[in-house]
Amino acid sequence: MPKVKTVSGAKKRFRFTGKGKVRRNKAYTSHILTKKTTKQKRRLRKSAVFESSDAREIRRLLPYGR
């Protein structure tokens, strides 16, 4: 079998947790921050975990991830 290429956009955006779940950063953090409340910006700092159906798609993009 030949090697499968990793999607480079995906490897920059997603990481795996220790148990193998797929982690992502939240959107809406880069600009127009003056309109957003401090509470909202604080919540956006934390990373989120994908649902299992979405994680299956991400695993296909990152074949050599966990």
Q: Please tell me the distance from the alpha carbon of residue 21 to that of residue 38, in angstroms, as a whole number.
A: 29
Domain contains 2: no
Write down the pLDDT at residue 48: 96
- Cβ-contact 11, 3 below 8 angstroms: no
pTM for this entry: 0.79
Residues of the chain with pLDDT under 70: none
Write down the pLDDT at residue 65: 87
Domains in the chain, number: 1
- Domain, as residue range, for 26: 8-61
**Burial (Cβ within 10 Å: 0-12, 13-18, ≥19) of residue 13:** middle
Please report, as a single letter, which amino acid is at residue 41. Answer: K
Give the CATH number for residue 45. 4.10.410.60
In this structure, the chain runs to a length of 66
